[in-house]
Amino acid sequence: LIEYLNERKSIRLAVDIPSGLMADQSLDSPCFKAQKTYTFQVPKLSFFLPQNHSFVGDFEILDIGLSDIAIENAKTSFYYLTSQNILSTFKERIKFSHKGTNGHALILAGSQRMTGAAVLTTKAALKAGAGLVTAYVPKSVVSILQNQCVEAMVWGEESNKVLTHFPDLKKYRCVAIGPGLGQHLYTQRMLKKLLLTCKKPLVLDADALNIIAQNKWQNLIPSGSILTPHPKELERLVGKAQNDYEQIKILRNFARAIQSVVLLKRAHTAIALPNGNLFFNSTGNPAMGTAGSGDVLTGILLGLLAQGYEAEQASLLGVYLHGMAGDKAAEQLGRLVAGDLVDYYESF
């Protein structure tokens, strides 16, 4: 019957969950291919996994009057990140705050052929609220960054093409490394030294993650860090999963093992916390699937850390606001580029 219905050219709707789809395990039988699913009270785990999108389609949550107290007290490791459960983490700026109290952030990014990543990360960190941002980059990136981001302090190291060192970290509240970094041998040595010595909140992205995976330095990652891999970068870090359900299990185990937050960037970005809990984001859209979107997220996370947010708070709030900026940009522009996410970023 399911196979017959899937062949019809009718509009196909599912109620609660598409017939044949399991809530928390892989398919082993035919499944109804819904174009939209009207689900009861709460979404199901399977709705957030790429392999099931062709069966679930878009989903809408219907309130059928189940007890909010019972739902709140139910034991689970999985959560849906919405404005209702993120607002409590947001910190209003106090009247007498200033650039000093709002934190000084350091960005280690860029190389001769990948200058834009450093620009996007720096702009996003400032827009997210860091009081001061210093971008430490190779000489070849300095003039571009100064022209594109006049509010930032730009520090060019002696190397012209790639980063080989990092400055004294004492005056910085937090550090981000990876966007446009490249994987030069000297850059790898610099990253290892940073992992071994950094006592500040640390955001690891892009080539920083690739270098860690290449050298098997996962055990060097300081606890309390934030990692922002896309699916391929996660695979390099933890190995290939047989399916999306196993990937979620591996993601949670990895976050617990390194006692850090790990964000799996995709639709419904998955945020794995060190305690084993995992949040799926509710904001964002396909228009954000463009080069540089991840660099903007790194900057947003860094900007929140600079203001004193803990890694878990910064991750949940940053991912939600990043997606919200994408939704606003897509609504106004249709197609977008990563820089639009900075322009449309705003807090609650």
pLDDT of 159: 85
CB 117 within 8 A of CB 180: yes
Predicted confidence band of residue 335 (pLDDT cuts 50, 70, 90) = very high
Predicted confidence band of residue 195 (pLDDT cuts 50, 70, 90) = very high
- pLDDT tens digits for 98-134? 999 999 999 999 999 999 999 999 999 999 999 999 9
Q: What is the mean pLDDT of the chain?
A: 96
- φ, ψ of residue 106 in degrees (nearest 5): -115, 130
**CB-side neighbour CA atoms (13 Å) of 230:** 15
Single-letter residue type at 291: A
pLDDT of 265: 98
Read off the tokens for 50. 């790429």
Give CA–CA dist 152/148, Å, rounded: 9
- Average pLDDT over every residue of 319-327: 98
| Nearest Cα to Cα of residue 51 among 291, 279, 245 | 245
- pLDDT tens digits for 53-91? 999 999 999 999 999 999 989 999 999 999 988 988 898
- pLDDT tens digits for 2-24? 999 999 999 999 999 999 999 99
Residues near 197 by Cβ (< 8 Å), separated by ≥ 6? Answer: 169
- φ, ψ of residue 247 in degrees (nearest 5): -60, -40
- pLDDT tens digits for 148-172? 999 999 999 988 899 999 999 999 9
Give CA–CA dist 129/102, Å, rounded: 7
pLDDT of 348: 77
More confident position, 284 or 25: 284
CB 338 within 8 A of CB 234: no
